[in-house]
Structure 1
Amino acid sequence: MTLIVSIGGNKHGKTDPYIKKDGVELDLILLIRTILAATKEIAFRVSQGELSGVLGSTLDENIQGEVQKKLDVLANQLLKDMLSDDDSVRSIASEEEEFVVPVHSTAPYIVAFDPLDGSSNIDINGQIGTIFTIYRARDDVAANSPEQFAQLGTEQVCAGYVLYGPSTYLMMTTGGPTRGYTLDLTHGGYLLTVPEVTLSQDSMEFSANMANYRYWQEGVQHYFDQVLYSSEDYKDVTMRYNGAMVGDINRILIKGGVFHYPSDARAGNENGKIRLLYEANPLAMLIEKAGGKATAHGKRIMALPPTSLHQRVPVVMGSNNLVDEFDKAIFSNSNV
């Protein structure tokens, strides 16, 4: 029988005993609930689509130089507003914001998020999601300092994402195994549906934007030439690409495989496109806690020292054997 336990609802609702087993403190549990409350509101707006007037683009660009979608702005503001009302939050960092947002100067936690990963999929009713991560606040720097977030990924106390699709699905870890939850619209809570996610090591699926092949460095191109055309070792390989990292990682966590986003020759992509704080670290934590690997330049992502609030890194993450094969092929021969 599938175990169904709510971690949603109000402060008087039930708490997932698996989270308690991980030794998660009550104030962190309540902070997680704040984040999930925001995602439930985002999920409702997503489900309404054109009916709620959230489709289309604004006339503005975010700090990444990307044109903002209306739903980007809405999701960002919902998360900011709800987290600002939570007394346990000292600082907020968003992929959509240039600077850290200070909240409560003595609060115990800081939160970073990508409010809506996969924005290009919004208007086509494709996969999109919210990625979030929580760290303990630093008392040695101010609440408005980017140094609050200059912490290794190994210091995360919670990481997760919510995927908005046919069902609204939460993947989350609080230091124990990665677990899957499904939003139950009947009572409004996220219910535990997969107590422990175990990443398959047998899949030959990969996810990569092959349209970027022409910009990749020679060693990476050669690796994919082998995967797609030459090597018998990859005769069963298949490609799946959603245009939203959160959707690709969800598939990999459930079915196995590997996600690639290499650096390339285009201006601004010299270190890849994936943001260390908002995407790479939280998704790497989920992958590792499910038994997989996540690397950048052949090194563990969660051990990379942060250098800036919007730092980018090349990414390969997923099943151990596929990550190892890529890193061995590329970095043992010094092709990159």
Structure 2
Amino acid sequence: MTQPLHHWLAAAVANDGVDLKLSGVLETIAAACAELAGVLRLAPIAGQTGLAGHTNVQGEAQKELDVISNDIFIKHLRKNADISILVSEELDEALHLENHGAFAVACDPLDGSSNLDVNVTVGSIFSILAVDPGSPDLLQPGTKQLAAGYAAYGPSTSLVLTFGTAVVCFTLDENGQFVLSQDNITVPAASGEFAINTARERFWDEATKAYVSQNVAGETGPAGKRYNMRWIGSMVADIHRILMRGGIFLYPLDSETTDKGGRLRLLYEANPMALIMEAAGGGATTGHGRILEVQPKAIHQRIPVIVGSKDEVERVNALYSHQG
């Protein structure tokens, strides 16, 4: 019989020493993702794929569903007394809930929302941290994450989770329950696919230019094999593909994003994806160091993100080392 999420979490508590309250936090997040999956499924009929008419703290135009998804997460997290703080891409400041629990959730409630009007896979990304509700420290490096994951809303809804040692995937069934569909996921060490926005080539640093050039050279290049480029423009969709069949995702620091520190956010995009990828046997780097060891300076801090198959990440790291 297919194992429901709550049974899997109960086993993790009983057999692997997972904190019971932490498992409850994950069930709360899963419930939010399940509700959001239903909203997204009917959004085109409800006319909810357009702009909301304002911007978030990142200066990005919000879709109506960005706001709805954020509200769904807030609604569910408020119900769990063990969650005291929410950091969201859609909120200027950390939201202190009425609870006094020992956990904080950092999330991007709806990653890839610019793709909603063309029915491309979008997702939710989340990270869970331990905090003292009386004096919370949200600026913790990724190594301190207790758990992380994402939901991918595509032809089916997938929920990927890790406690930092293994990666599992659940699928939303017809009854609205997440059931285990893949256990102990391992990302292939080698791959012939890479994901990068080539429209930004004019801004790239030399290491990125060299890596892409080598791949485009195919069998005649240093890697000695043919590559295909994949770029969806939804981080969750690109990472999910890489997790399942290998590859590398690159959003490096470039001349246009230098002043901001990068494009993607450390706490609720880079860190959770890095924890997942490393737990699956892959790699995660900024080009100058391990993502999970970066000390955050602000809740919406941006950094370069390069994650994926171990061999590919090592190639990129080597090119950055030569660049100096």
Q: What TM bracket, shorter-length normalisation?
A: over 0.9
Residue 188 of structure 1 is aligned with which of 152, 165, 176? 176
Alignment RMSD, CA only? 1.8
Give yes or no for contact 1:5–1:16 (8 Å, CA) kept in 2: no
Contact kept, 8 Å, 2:257 with 2:263, in 1: the verdict is no
**Are residues 234 and 205 of structure 1, via their aligned partners in 2, closer, same or farther at CA, if it must alter by over 3 Å?**
farther
Could you tell me the TM-score, scaled by structure 2's length? 0.94
1:17 Cα offset (Å): 2.4
Of 210, 223, 227, the residue aligned with 2:215 is 227
Aligned residues: 322
**Which residue of structure 2 lines up, in the alignment, with residue 249 of structure 1?**
239
2:298 matches 1:273: no
1:243-278 per-residue CA deviation (whole Å, 9 max, x = no partner) reads 111111101110011110011112566522010001
Q: Does 1:160 align with 2:149?
A: yes
Task: Say whether the 8 Å CA contact 1:116–1:130 is kept in structure 2.
Answer: yes
Q: What does residue 177 of structure 1 align with?
A: 166
CA deviation profile, 1:144-171 (whole Å, cap 9, x unmatched)? xxxx211111111110000000000011
Q: Partners of 1:254 and 1:75 in 2: how far apart? A: 26
Q: Deviations over 1:179-235 (max 9, x none)?
A: 0111112x3211111111011013111111111111112332233222213615253
1:111 aligns with 2:100: no
Q: Is the 8 A contact 1:169 1:183 kept in 2?
A: yes
Distance 1:256 1:218 in 2: 24
Q: Secondary structure at the match of 1:299?
A: coil
Alpha-carbon shift at residue 279 of structure 1 (Å): 0.4
- The TM-score, its normalising length taken from structure 1, stands at 0.91
> What is the DSSP-based 3-state SS (H/G/I as helix, E as strand, rest coil) of the residue aligned with 2:5?
coil
Q: How does 1:42-53 map to 2 (within 5 A)?
A: 42-53=36-47
Cα distance 1:19–1:261, how it changes in 2: closer, same or farther (>3 A)?
Answer: farther
- Asked if the contact 2:197–2:231 (Cα under 8 Å) also holds between the matched residues in 1, the reply is yes
CA–CA distance in structure 1, aligned partners of residues 76 and 161 of structure 2: 19
CA offsets, 1:38-79, max 9 Å, x none? Answer: 111110011112212311001100000000001110000110
Distance 1:326 1:299 in 2: 11
Is 1:218 the counterpart of 2:216? The answer is no
- Matched position secondary structure for 1:310: coil
1:315-326 aligned at under 5 Å gives the runs 315-326=305-316
Q: Calculate percent identity across the aligned residue pairs.
A: 37
Partner of 2:140: 151
Note the residue ranges of structure 1 that are not aligned, 5 or more in a row.
143-147
Deviation, 1:176, is 3.1
Letter in 1 for 2:76: M
Structure-2 change in CA distance of 1:20 and 1:237 (3 Å): farther
What pairs up with 1:261-300 in 2 under 5 angstroms?
Answer: 261-266=251-256, 270-300=260-290
Does residue 199 (structure 1) correspond to residue 184 (structure 2)? The answer is no
Matching residue of 1:145: none
Deviation (angstroms), 1:333: 2.9
Aligned residue identity for 1:239: M
Residue deviations 1:5-63, cap 9 Å, x none?
A: 1115xxxx774524643321221111111111111111001111221231100110000
Q: Do the aligned partners of residues 175 and 264 (structure 1) sit closer, same or farther apart at CA in structure 2, a change above 3 Å counting?
A: closer
